[in-house]
Chain A
Amino acid sequence: MAALDGMTIIALGLPFIAALVAPALVRRLGHNAAWVLALFPFFVFVRFLEFLPEVSAGSAITGGFQWVPSYNVSFSWFIDGLSLIFALLISGIGTLIVFYTGGYLKGHAQLGRFYSFIFLFMGAMLGLVISDSFLMLFVYWELTSITSFLLIGFDHGREASRRSALQALVVTGLGGLSLMAGLLVVWNITGVTQLSLLVNLGDEVRASPFYLMALILLLGGAFTKSAQFPFHFWLPNAMEAPTPVSAYLHSATMVKAGVYLVMRMNPAFGDTVAWETILPVFGGTTLIVGSLLAIRQTDLKLMLAYTTVSSLGLMVMMTGFGSEHAAAAGVLYLIAHSMFKGAFFMLAGNIDHEAGTRDITKLGGLRKLMPISFLAAMAAAFSMGGLPPFFGFLSKEEIYYGLWHADPWSIFMTVVAIVGNGLMFVVGFAIAIKPFLGREVKTPKHAHEAPLLMWIGPATLATGGLLAAVFSPIFHQYVSSPMVSAVSGEAEEVTISLVPHIGMPLLLSLVTIVFAVLVYLKVDSARSAIAATLTAIGWGPDKGFDQFVSGMVRLSRRVTKIAQPGQLDIYMTVTFAAVAVTLLAPMIIFDELPAMPAWPADAEIHELAVILIAFIGLGAVIAAKDRLTAIVSLGIQGFAVALIFMLFGAPDLSFTQFMVETLSVVILALVMTRLRLTLSDHRPTGQKIGDATVAIACGAGFMLYLLAVTEVPFRSYLSDFFIAYSKVIAHGANVVNVIIVDFRGTDTLGEIAVVMVTGLAILSLIRVRPGWKPGMLAENDPDAPTEEKK
């Protein structure tokens, strides 16, 4: 393990520190706190940027410390190309989001809390992508789910928000459990708990009989997090969150955690039939379903959400496709997507913020009013549609490079990619063109350009997409190639550039564009056709979630009604029946019943008499019909026990028991004379017999247990210790008292504390009553002046 690197630790902790200080800063500076708060993620960004030369040279940065050494659990990080680019995206886009939030939620009463949640998420996500140990990965993974829950439910006054938050938590939380199970299986297979070691153990993993099990469990985590069909439904619902959250968590970073996991596992798990079937099939389905559903929407954010679903599907599909350029295509598309989708979401927020609506059919002609937003939207749409000179073009070319081969499976996947890409092209340009061009439409608010804080983010990201493509050789050297190498597990070079390269991929790009333009012209009829189909189906996983939740509520109510009927005697019967079974069953099953004891020949007549008295007292308690008999017979059995203690060498106990029995009888009499209670047993005979059976079974259990215990020889070394040292070191002749106040003094201290607390509890029970007035306290207070006069 490499040395502990203080700066990296600070960089990892900074977002959490920012989460702590954010509310106070916002209280002082209002929305301008954004300028200060953005320094935190920016510092992290710079810190990770410093690693870039080293990582692009092919080495990985490791560090950390032993967390729980006895279980070989470490807090360690492993920063290779994949982790580093993710960390840069998280901190870089995070900086822009911090700016954007300041503008978007300007004047919101809970802005400070919002910042706290955002920073918590940022810290969790950073930790997730650089984690080396499985445990750390899992902890951060769950932390991102929880912060996502908090952010989606930020506007918790609305039921839709609460539902979406809960839905996201349930789906990703279940996925988290699946991930943990998967990691445990991997641990079992390989014996390692670190990702950095796992990547070299691919052969071992693939040869294991548990390979498929581990794969499915891990993909369960990845697919829920990355909203793959059929778990895609939570992501569009998560759009209930404020737009900065949608831009940051639900497009640029968190939902990519699943893709990250898949990419991370590729060297160890990839290159098998299962991997290359499951991933493209689920990814491809998600791509098509997501883009079709996106066409159907008219809400800007929902359109973007569904295209995010389909983009995630495309990434998973490319990662799993397994051909030469496929992994590289997935990586390039991931980078491109983070930039253009983050920009798009912020722009959608701008439009919503400035024009007052997100419905695409109610928008138009904003170009003149919001020129910067329009330019940024066009840039994002070009990138999303895969047109030059933007980075999206490079990724799309690479996708077709990776997919196009002359076999049916490849051709089929190519068609899937063309349809998906085409539909996303349509949605991208719909968002970029429809609200901005055309006739000016009267919007709920009179629109004008968004403030600086709100356009700085999308403008930066859109420019970034352009620069990355134009300077692609440098970008590839430092960003794409290291990341691709980490995903594929061997050094690889990405060379794709804007320079025209005549060939099949370019042709496929043209086909995509032609297809997209055709759909774009018919988009309204396509929308209604899809809507009609969905209505005809009438059921989806989203509805299924509702049915699942209400089913759970009804089921738990039914279970509660059975387990907690609210009747004390049922609880008691169950408890004591369990006691009886616990005592008797092992003795009977393992044939350990005690031998029949002989009649104690040495029993003296007075001892027998006392025991007989105890029995009589017990019988009388049960049979008692009036209060006096009951109290007296209760006293009889108690005094008989006291006598037994006296006869068998325990004068201390005997004394105590006498006093306690006296006091018990006194207070029982005091209370009973005030309670006009019938003592007789109202139970019907059938219940009496049942109760008696349970009681006798318990009694017999204890009796047999005690017989069995006393049959074996007594080991007296504990008692011998006390007897031997009582006088010598504790200066006491009465061993019992010495044990209480000296050897077990701390124990006794606890016990007298209990006695005192019961005294307090009784006093308050008697004093506190509905009609209680402050003056009534004086009645019981000996120091009160009224008491003195009496």
Chain B
Amino acid sequence: MRTVIFRTVAPYLTSLMVLFSIFVLLRGHNEPGGGFIGGLIAASAFAIYGIACGVAPVRRAIYFHPMAISAFGLFMSSIAGMISLPLSVPFMTGNWMQLSFFGVDIDLSSVLIFDIGVYFVVVGAITSIALALEERDRD
């Protein structure tokens, strides 16, 4: 699989896919997309990078251990649920805040934070699985 073409293209392809995954994640609330899909896209991107260039560069590129990313995502999602605590509403109630930038309304919400948490969990867990399987060559 490690052909020269594939190896040359893979880093660009990966960055494009990660970028796209973030796009899919953020638009998820109003268009098809969301944390699960975005996470899977990013995880596939890392898997492709791993197949093309080996596991070590991927691990360097994402810097954190994939499971740490996953755990961070779970933490973030839980926090998003707990935002409702000081506001005296039940756990996981969506809370909204509207910001205006140059006449464009942006909805910021605990739901968005939750979805980003989902994204991280899926990216972390599945990248970890894929990388762990890919690097089995070395044992």
Chain A positions near chain B (C-beta within 8 angstroms):
651-652, 655-656, 659-660, 662-663, 666-667, 670-671, 674, 730-734, 736-738, 740-742, 745-746, 748-749, 752-753, 755-756, 758-760, 762-763, 766, 779-783, 787, 790
Contact = CB atoms under 8 A, between A and B. Distances in A.
B34 A652 contact: yes
A755 B125 contact: yes
Contacts of A740: 34-36
A760 B67 contact: yes
A745 B41 CA distance: 22
Given A734-B32, A741-B115, A787-B59, A666 B51 contact: yes
B29 A737 contact: yes
B70 A756 contact: yes
B29 A733 contact: yes
Given A731-B96, A745-B92, A749-B74, 12 more contacts: A656-B37, A731-B94, A731-B109, A732-B30, A734-B33, A749-B92, A752-B73, A752-B74, A759-B70, A759-B125, A780-B132, A782-B62
Contacts of A766: 132-133, 136
Question: Which 3 pairs of residues, A with B, have the shortest CB-CB distance?
Answer: A759-B125, A659-B40, A782-B59
Contacts of A656: 36-37, 40
Contact of A759 (B41, B67, B107): B67
Given A733-B31, A734-B32, A762 B136 contact: no
The SS class assigned to the A binding surface is helix
Interface in B101-139: 107, 109, 111, 114-115, 117-118, 121-122, 124-126, 128-130, 132-136, 138
B99 to A, nearest CB: 13
Interface string B9-40: 00000000000000010001111111111001
20 contacts: A655-B24, A656-B37, A659-B41, A666-B51, A667-B133, A730-B94, A731-B107, A734-B28, A734-B34, A738-B29, A740-B35, A745-B94, A746-B91, A749-B77, A752-B74, A758-B125, A759-B124, A760-B67, A782-B59, A782-B62
Contacts of A755: 70, 121-122, 125-126
Nearest to B134: A670
Contacts of A749: 74, 77-78, 81, 92, 114
Interface of B: 24, 28-37, 40-41, 43-44, 47, 51, 56, 59-60, 62-67, 70-71, 73-74, 77-78, 81, 91-92, 94, 96, 107, 109, 111, 114-115, 117-118, 121-122, 124-126, 128-130, 132-136, 138
Given A656-B40, A779-B138, A783-B65, A742 B94 contact: yes
A734 B29 contact: yes
B30 A734 contact: yes
B114 A745 contact: yes
Contacts of B78: 749
B44 A674 contact: no
Nearest to B48: A666
A731 B98 CA distance: 11
A787 B94 CA distance: 42
A730 B114 CA distance: 14
A656 to B, nearest CB: 5
A662 B48 CA distance: 11
A756 B29 contact: no
Among A734, A752, A759, find the residue whose CB has the most chain B CB atoms closer than 10 A.
Answer: A752
Among B59, B74, B96, B125, find the residue whose CB has the most chain A CB atoms closer than 10 A.
Answer: B125
Contacts of B128: 759, 762-763
A756 B124 contact: yes
Contacts of B132: 762-763, 766, 780
A84 B33 CA distance: 75
Contact of B111 (A666, A745, A762): A745
A49 to B, nearest CB: 55
Contacts of B71: 756
Contacts of B96: 731
A561 B37 CA distance: 47
Among B33, B62, B138, find the residue whose CB has the most chain A CB atoms closer than 10 A.
Answer: B33
B129 A762 contact: yes
A111 B61 CA distance: 64
Contacts of B43: 659, 663
B60 A756 contact: no
Contacts of A731: 29, 94, 96, 107, 109
A781 B65 contact: yes
Contact of A652 (B37, B94, B115, B117): B37
Contacts of B40: 656, 659-660, 663
Nearest to B30: A733
Contact of B133 (A671, A760, A782, A787): A671
Contacts of B31: 733-734
Contact of B121 (A660, A670, A746, A756): A756
Nearest to A650: B32
Contacts of B67: 756, 759-760, 763
A688 to B, nearest CB: 32
A737 B33 contact: yes
A762 B67 CA distance: 11
B136 A674 contact: yes
A607 to B, nearest CB: 20
B69 to A, nearest CB: 10
Given A752-B73, A752-B117, A741 B32 contact: no
Given A734-B30, A741-B114, A752-B117, A663 B126 contact: yes
Among B33, B60, B94, find the residue whose CB has the most chain A CB atoms closer than 10 A.
Answer: B94
Contacts of A763: 67, 128-129, 132
B29 A732 contact: yes
A655 B125 contact: no
Contact of A746 (B65, B81, B118, B124): B81
Given A663-B43, A741-B34, A752-B77, A730 B111 contact: yes
A752 B121 contact: yes
Contacts of A659: 37, 40-41, 43-44
A380 B132 CA distance: 80
B90 to A, nearest CB: 9
Contacts of A651: 32
A753 B124 CA distance: 12
Contacts of B81: 745-746, 749
Nearest to B56: A790
A617 to B, nearest CB: 21
Contacts of A666: 47, 51, 130
Given A659-B40, A734-B34, A763-B132, A752 B29 contact: no
Contacts of A760: 67
A758 B70 CA distance: 11
A344 to B, nearest CB: 66
